[in-house]
Structure 1
Amino acid sequence: MTTELRFRGSGANPRFSEWLAKLKRTGSNILLTGEVPDAVSARASRSLFGREDRRFRVLGLTDQTIRNAATRLPDDASFDDPTTWIIDQRRGERSVPATAQGFTPDSDSLRTDDARQLCDEIQTAISFYDERADGLDPAELRVGVDSLFPLVQEDRAATRHVLGTLCATVRSVHGMAHYHLRVPDDEIVDDLMGLFDARVELRRRPRRNPEQRWYAPEIDAKTPWMEL
């Protein structure tokens, strides 16, 4: 049976703290699930992108229901920052650093709901930042994909295959990536979960702040619900 662990505060379980530290040190891929409003997904994304003096962020957008993509980034970052790389399949647009010319051909148009192309684009961004930084420090690279749902609806088998490749690339540079899938517990989550190091379930209840619950498969544990 999965053990329930404290996430923060007094009495935090040391196994969970050690596991989190390992994710930051070795690289990780985190699946975000739960039927939540766009604002809750954005809040979770800002938290996982984080705020640091030196951080490189890559954001892939596929979900047409997203109202304001900029809300995915923390308030000290923007689409215009040279440390931020945006791949927007919804609109067929990229926002990349000026110094990245030559990494991405201007003639290559972005296609809707194309998991393979999105993976290639994110890997290009990772290669650029790794080269620019002369080797990325652990957790310095942060990747976000919002969301997987259009991709798995288009072709789940292909999406699963390319996600495996992308997850391996993120770990190879000790980065941290999060992938939104706004569905509850169901067979899609079960089918994809083997690719990820952790799962964060999100929920929104009336007259309360959004909440999150972390699952740690490696140590067979989960946290209680806590404020996001």
Structure 2
Amino acid sequence: MSGDRRAVGGEHGPSAAALLPRLKRNGCNLLVAGPASEETANRATQRLFGSPDLERKRVLVRTGGDATPDELLPSGVSATDPDVRVVQYRASPEDADPLASLARRVAAVVTSFDASSPLVGGELRLAVTSLEDVVADHDTLAAEQFLRRVADAVASVRGMGHYRYLGPRGDLSALPVDRLFDAFVDLREHPRAAQRLSAPATRPTEWIDL
């Protein structure tokens, strides 16, 4: 699903829950956003990385945040496992475009997983830890190009990628989020930590406790 990623549906179209099986089967890129704590976002990431009992290739792209890899991975999964890769953003004076370099390294990791054994839909799971740092430290065009490159790599193997922004989704209005992402995972902290799935032109799911 490269290019524009707007979900299809009208006023009486499907709910976001009805889209979920198709998103998992065909692959998707999800924006995880909301005024929530990092702890709440970490629990959402653990769920999106998939059950530790299922075979998954997991790619953790660290662009910021304080959580350690083990706080972001599901219980029983370690950053040192052979099916886990941690890709760290590195700002270097020798690198004129470190964000583009990060996108290339992520794409190379995805390609290597697929080359070793062709991936099925939803097998690859990827998380980008902090869009706050991406948009704060880079201009809008650079941030959009980074997201497109990573999202295209995920889509090429029908994986599931999610990209975390711990603030209102509206704060990202400079980015074409409805075209960059297939759907959204909304986070809230009150009255209790919870998440829901939503998508353009579809009804959101109910809130689910985290």
Which of the five TM-score ranges fits, normalised by the shorter chain?
0.7 to 0.9
* 2:132 paired with 1:145: no
In structure 1, what residue type is equivalent to 2:85? W
Distance 1:42 1:81 in 2: 19
d(CA) in 2 for partners of 1:109, 1:27:
36
User: In the alignment, does 2:88 pair up with 1:88?
Assistant: yes
Correspondence for 1:58:
59
Bigger shift: 21-30 or 183-192? 183-192
Structure 1 pair 72/41, CA: closer, same or farther in 2 (3 Å)? Answer: same
Amino acid aligned to 1:174: R
Separation (CA, whole Å) in 1 of partners of 2:36 and 2:136: 19
* AA aligned opposite 2:122: A
Cα deviations by residue, 1:10-37 (Å, 9 ceiling, x for unpaired): xxx9754441111111110000111221
1:221 Cα offset (Å): 2.1
Q: Report whether the alignment pairs 1:70 with 2:70.
A: yes
CA distance in 1, matches of 2:32, 2:202: 18
Cα offsets for 1:24-62 (capped at 9, x unmatched): 111100001112211111100000001143110000111
Instruction: Give 1:3 deviation, angstroms.
Output: 6.4
1:167-206 superposed matches below 5 A = 167-189=151-173, 191-193=175-177, 194-205=179-190
Aligned residues: 198
Shift of residue 183, structure 1, vs aligned partner: 1.3
Q: Normalising to structure 2: TM-score of the pair? A: 0.83
Structure 1 residue 163, shift from structure 2 partner: 1.1
- Give the aligned residue type for 1:169: A
Deviation of the 1:226 alpha carbon: 2.5
- CA-based RMSD: 2.8
2:5 aligns with: none
Bigger RCO of structures 1 and 2 (CA < 8 A, at least 6 apart): 2
Aligned to 2:115: 131
Tell me the distance in 2 between the aligned counterparts of 1:76 and 1:192. Answer: 36
Question: What are the superposed Cα offsets for residues 177-221 of structure 1, whole Å, 9 maximum, x if unpaired?
Answer: 000011113241562412000111111126x3x11122122x522
CA distance in 1, matches of 2:136, 2:93: 21
Counterpart of 1:191 in 2: which secondary structure? coil
Q: Identity over the aligned pairs, expressed in percent?
A: 31
- Structure 1 match to 2:194: 211
Unmatched tracts of structure 2, length 5 or more: 1-9
- The aligned counterpart of 1:226 is 208
Matched residue type, 2:184 = R
Q: Is the 8 A contact 1:114 1:151 kept in 2?
A: no
TM-score (norm 1): 0.77
Measured in 1, the distance between the counterparts of 2:132 and 2:149 equals 18
SS in 1 for 2:21: helix
Which letter maps to 2:147?
A: L
Greater shift after overlay, 13-22 or 158-167?
13-22
SS of equivalent to 1:78? coil
Query: Does the 8 A contact of 1:62 with 1:146 survive in 2?
Result: yes
Q: Which of 1 and 2 has greater Rg? A: 1
Contact 1:89 1:110 (C-alpha < 8 Å) held by counterparts = no
Q: Distance in 2 between matches of 1:199 and 1:39?
A: 19
Distance 1:198 1:137 in 2: 20
Provide the C-alpha distance between the structure 1 equivalents of 2:208 and 2:152, rounded to a whole number of angstroms.
30
Could you tell me whether the CA contact under 8 Å between 2:15 and 2:204 is conserved in 1?
Answer: no
